[in-house]
Amino acid sequence: MKAQIETNELLDRLPPHLKQYIKPQNYESYTPINQAVWRYVMRKNVDYLSKVAHESYLEGLDKTGISINEIPSMYGMNRILKEIGWAAVAVDGFIPPNAFMEFQAYKVLVIASDIRQLENIEYTPAPDIIHEGAGHAPIIASPDYAEYLRRFGEVGAKAISSAHDIEMYEAVRELSILKEAEGIPKKKIAEAEERVEELQAKKVAPSEISLIRNLHWWTVEYGIVGTVANPKIYGAGLLSSIGESAWCMKEEVKKMPYSIKAAYQDFDITKPQPQLYVTPDFAYLQEVLEEFANTMAVRKGGWRGLNKLIISKQLGTIELSTGLQVSGRFTRMIQNEDNEVVWFETEGETALSYRETEVIGHGVSRHHSGFRSPLGKLKGINLAIENMGPRDLQAYDFYDGKPIAFEFESGITVEGLNVTGMRNLRGELMLIQFSNCKVIYKDEVLFTPEMGDFDMAVGKEIVSAFAGAADYLSFGLVNHVSTSKTVRIELSEKEIELSGLYKKVREIRIGASAKLSEIDDANLIEIFTKLKLNHTKDWLLALEVYELTENPTVLRYLSEAKNRRPKVAHLIENGLALLGTKKSALKTRP
């Protein structure tokens, strides 16, 4: 398969700032060892998960085009996912949380196309195709869950982050890359772990993105459904982990009814989870999500919402009561005695929008140095500015082309030449342009004529505040560059030889299955002999050879490998159990 991005209708409508994260899957880069790892994990998972996973899991494997025997291609998945209204894209490891959520809002699964190394076959902190493809994809065959995932994306994409969140994202991304790459010095991994632990230990107020990320973790990643007494797995982290899918069912792991409290329960991505949350059904997940959304700035607005954007130091948007949306990096606000926002400022490129569409003439080229405006009602006038019709404006001597002066209830005064006004679809004033304008609050001059024209936003209050731009086309958002890159290491001659042995066994198995011919035992034993002589640390290939030959010599070798390497003994036992081999066959020889 060529390294290209296969597209469809769902992917075509993705905005540019999301498309920048998509990369070709490059299917040919998967080695025969990668394919063997996929096959082992999937066979083990399907065997076990058929007993403990939600009923939609096995059905979903078929509906999403995921094979047990080979790593799925994005193209094949998309052809089948299209039938249930979803799509999938390949990305390079972790991407920023808001972008990940926004993909979901567009009904697109984000799949890290790399695959875990053999030594991390049970669990990896890095997102990989086993976790994303075999974990996330099957459950979206459930309509209720698929809608929850989409809605979660919509809500999560608006969640406001903090500077600490960005640091944590980069630190976790780097650690996951180092842990999954081969040949990385232990000292470098330890330093990355120390950095993550240091950031986790910091006492910081939780941001919206950190809280909703917790909800995502305890549902989409590590969720179980049913009752505390009889739970079923649906979270992708559990569905894709041989170790944790078994561990989570033990009594040592506390099971609690799912509620909004899960948003305040942190997690450690590098360790098994000590507790899990049980939802009675997928519909209940949406109830909790809406309960949480009601606490967010996107719905509450006000000074708290604006303050979250100021703290975040990231691109964000406020929406005023007139519907005018201001997008930029907010730096300051002034509040009255009732904590209401009476003045706000942005720094750098800013754009004005209405209903998520940039207001003509008010993009970043006009507001390249920021935007600022008073809010509230005028002093001594009961009628709000936005509700003033042409006759009302004349009654208060507000004429286009005439100098005017007025004072807000907050004490802010505006004096200048009234150039023009702009109204929304309801006929309300939402923007007034002044020239030769001066704005003063107490003893502070907030705006002077030397700063250019003064565009004043009109609105009594801030009704919403959220992350990102109102109109994503207003800003050049195709500029994400992570500080860490996925590590690609060239294989040694010995590793190339081992990969070649895996390839031969794979070809023999596929050929025997397709042609219904006899297994080439002699060739397999020759492969096994080379493995035994040159690759004593490998155990999975010996298991694949035994699957095809059932040769006693290979079985003895696996028994010896169990004694030599106790850390993988249970993996060998599990593999033999899948083949129907009795446990007693693996007893240590005298």
* Cα–Cα distance, 109 to 50 (Å, whole number): 23
The token pair at 65 is 């085009």
Domain formed by 298-474, architecture: Roll (2.30)
Residue 485 pLDDT: 55
pLDDT band at 513 (very low <50, low <70, confident <90, very high): low
Q: Which residue has the higher pLDDT, 97 or 367?
A: 367
The mean pLDDT of 305-331, rounded to a whole number, is 96
Angle at 422 between CA 416 and CA 424, to 5 degrees: 145
CA distances from 198 to 167, 203, 405 (A): 11, 10, 54
* Cα–Cα distance, 207 to 521 (Å, whole number): 60
CATH class for the region spanning 9-290: mainly alpha
The mean pLDDT of 231-249, rounded to a whole number, is 87
Q: Is 433 helix (H, G, I), strand (E, B) or coil?
A: strand
Residue 584 pLDDT: 38
> Among 258-267, 273-282, 377-386, whose mean pLDDT is lowest?
377-386
Residue 1 pLDDT: 40
Helix (H) or strand (E) holding 470: none
- Closest by CA to 334, choosing from 440, 407, 435, is 440
Q: Is the pLDDT of residue 572 over 60?
A: yes
Q: Is the pLDDT of residue 476 over 90?
A: no
pLDDT band at 547 (very low <50, low <70, confident <90, very high): very high
Question: Rounded mean pLDDT of the chain?
Answer: 88
Q: What is the pLDDT of residues 482-506, one digit of tens each?
A: 555 555 567 788 989 999 999 999 9
State the number of CA atoms in the 13 A half-sphere of 48 facing the CB.
Answer: 23
The mean pLDDT of 131-160, rounded to a whole number, is 91
> Among 120-134, 336-350, 471-485, whose mean pLDDT is lowest?
471-485
pLDDT band at 363 (very low <50, low <70, confident <90, very high): very high
Query: Residue 281, Cβ neighbours under 10 Å: how many?
Result: 12
The mean pLDDT of 225-240, rounded to a whole number, is 92
* Cα–Cα distance, 124 to 269 (Å, whole number): 9
pTM of the shown model: 0.84
Q: Is 344 helix (H, G, I), strand (E, B) or coil?
A: strand
The mean pLDDT of 41-46, rounded to a whole number, is 88
Q: Is the pLDDT of residue 73 over 50?
A: yes
Contact call for residues 562 and 548 (beta carbons, < 8 A): no
Contact call for residues 127 and 93 (beta carbons, < 8 A): yes
* Cα–Cα distance, 101 to 223 (Å, whole number): 17
The mean pLDDT of 302-318, rounded to a whole number, is 96
Residue 517 pLDDT: 53
pLDDT band at 587 (very low <50, low <70, confident <90, very high): very low
Using a pLDDT cut of 90, give the percent of the chain over it. 55
- Closest by CA to 220, choosing from 79, 118, 70, 103, is 103
Residue 137 pLDDT: 84
Q: Is the pLDDT of residue 3 over 90?
A: no
* Cα–Cα distance, 456 to 241 (Å, whole number): 55
The mean pLDDT of 213-235, rounded to a whole number, is 94
Which residues in 262-323 belong to E strands, given as ranges?
A: 275-279, 316-320
Handedness of CA 383, 389, 394, 397 (dihedral sign): positive
The mean pLDDT of 349-377, rounded to a whole number, is 96
Angle at 415 between CA 414 and CA 419, to 5 degrees: 105
Q: Is the pLDDT of residue 479 over 70?
A: no
> Among 55-59, 200-204, 396-400, whose mean pLDDT is lowest?
396-400
Query: Residue 463, Cβ neighbours under 10 Å: how many?
Result: 18
The mean pLDDT of 539-567, rounded to a whole number, is 93
pLDDT band at 2 (very low <50, low <70, confident <90, very high): very low
What residues contact 459, with CB distance under 8 A and at least 6 apart?
Answer: 320, 321, 322, 324, 375, 386, 430
Do strands 87-91 and 108-112 pair parallel, antiparallel, or not at all (unpaired)? Answer: parallel
pLDDT band at 589 (very low <50, low <70, confident <90, very high): very low
What residues contact 185, with CB distance under 8 A and at least 6 apart?
Answer: none
Helix (H) or strand (E) holding 415: strand 413-423
The mean pLDDT of 549-553, rounded to a whole number, is 92
Contact call for residues 158 and 468 (beta carbons, < 8 A): yes
Q: Which residues pair with 447 in a beta bridge?
A: 439
The mean pLDDT of 91-105, rounded to a whole number, is 88
Q: What is the pLDDT of residues 451-460, one digit of tens each?
A: 999 999 999 9
Q: Which of 5-14, 134-143, 159-168, 221-230 has the highest mean pLDDT?
A: 221-230
The token pair at 467 is 């992350």
The mean pLDDT of 361-386, rounded to a whole number, is 93
Name the maximum alpha-carbon separation found in the chain: 105
Query: Residue 8, Cβ neighbours under 10 Å: how many?
Result: 15
DSSP designation for 408: B
Contact call for residues 281 and 144 (beta carbons, < 8 A): yes
